[in-house]
Amino acid sequence: MPELMRAVTATGFGGPDVLGIDYVPTPVPRYGEVLIRVAFAGVNRPDALQRAGAYPPPPGASPLMGLECSGHIAALGRGVTGWQVGDAVCALLPGGGYATHAVTSQHQVLPVPSGLSMAEAACLPETCFTVWSNVVMRGGLSAGERFLVHGGSSGIGTTAIQIATALGARVFATAGSAVKCAACADLGAEAIQYRENDFVEILRAEGGAHLILDMVGGSYIPRNLRALADDGRLVQIAVLESPSAEVSFAEIMMRRLTVTGSTLRRQTPVQKAHIAQEVLAHVWPMIDAGHLRPVMDRVFAMDDAAEAHRRMEASDHIGKMALQMPED
């Protein structure tokens, strides 16, 4: 293994211009970990937050950005069973995906689904783990329910639409432009252009949402509660607008609403391993059956990570972006 590897590094916290390429020590897999020779790394909104200093990596994780990747197993730590050097995989990472090599727990590694490219496979773990754990394990979505996802054209949103549709739910999705709404509709959602239409009115006219997956927060929180059917569930996965809102707990009580949420990165290795097993058992068959495929926006060269972050922060993208690592 080379002692040094190429990685996307940052000169400090700030805008995309702080990003550059440097040589850093290649990580060594510890007990139960594998080393992956990264082919592609998925780009996620939390990467941009980490770059800006608003989302520090958890203790013990790589200081590099990158929460998911595809590639081939390059080395095994002690105690690893079930994986061989050379296996084509995709993996959820504690960080460190923006590099030619990355380490992660053997229990957060999944096989590359057949029929998907390595670029597509890199874009699966973060969104599939997040959507399955929040929409199904936490939110309990079942067939026939009305499901609303905000940010419908995002990496998370496009995955949530496809998984919820495959589960037999009636899916509504909000998005900020006609083009983004068309992308949501292509995936099977009833799209709501939120700058022109009130999602609360639309959902209430249909009897309310049984489940809402929200990443906006702020002013959306009381509106989400109003858009829920009695006994409905709100699952919060991010607070892009604001973490705070004034809500009536009388409404929660009288209409038996459930408000919950989670973040993936802070969960324990045991919890992540459990989600990985669920994703392998339930989401990978959806991919095999043709019900789910990552919506790919663009693939950037590793050297162009700053450009990918600019595109994400301008919200110009639809679906997922990935970085391609050099082969040498």
Binding residues for ligand NAP, per CB under 6 A? 44-46, 126, 130, 151, 153-156, 175-176, 180, 215-216, 237-238, 240-241, 262-264, 312, 315
Query: Phi/psi of residue 136, each to 5°?
Result: -105, -55
- Minimum CB separation of residue 109 from ligand NAP in Å reads 18
Pairwise CA distance, residues 223 & 218, whole Å:
10
Residue closer to ligand NAP (CB basis): 34 or 312:
312
Residue closer to ligand NAP (CB basis): 176 or 222:
176
Residue closer to ligand NAP (CB basis): 248 or 260:
260
Q: Which long-range contacts (CB under 8 A, 24 or more apart) does 105-108 make?
A: 105/32, 105/33, 105/269, 105/272, 105/273, 106/32, 106/33, 106/34, 106/77, 106/80, 106/81, 106/82, 107/32, 107/269, 107/272, 107/273, 107/276, 108/269, 108/272, 108/273, 108/276
Sign of CA dihedral 210, 220, 184, 92: negative
- Minimum CB separation of residue 64 from ligand NAP in Å reads 17
Residue closer to ligand NAP (CB basis): 175 or 257:
175
- Minimum CB separation of residue 153 from ligand NAP in Å reads 5
Residue closer to ligand NAP (CB basis): 43 or 228:
43
In the numeric block, the tokens 């809500």 are attached to 247
Query: Phi/psi of residue 288, each to 5°?
Result: -60, -35
Residue closer to ligand NAP (CB basis): 27 or 217:
217
Residue closer to ligand NAP (CB basis): 74 or 160:
160
- Of 62, 112, 52, 119, nearest to 83 (Cα)? 112
- Minimum CB separation of residue 237 from ligand NAP in Å reads 4
Query: Phi/psi of residue 305, each to 5°?
Result: -55, -35
- Minimum CB separation of residue 310 from ligand NAP in Å reads 12
| 50 neighbors 10 (Cβ within 8 angstroms) | no
- Minimum CB separation of residue 204 from ligand NAP in Å reads 21
SS3 198: coil
Nearest-5° Cα angle at 306, 124 to 42:
5
Residue closer to ligand NAP (CB basis): 51 or 101:
51
Question: Which residue is nearest to ligand NAP, using beta carbons?
Answer: 154
Tell me the sheet residues that pair with 212: 148, 234
- Minimum CB separation of residue 162 from ligand NAP in Å reads 13
- Minimum CB separation of residue 1 from ligand NAP in Å reads 30
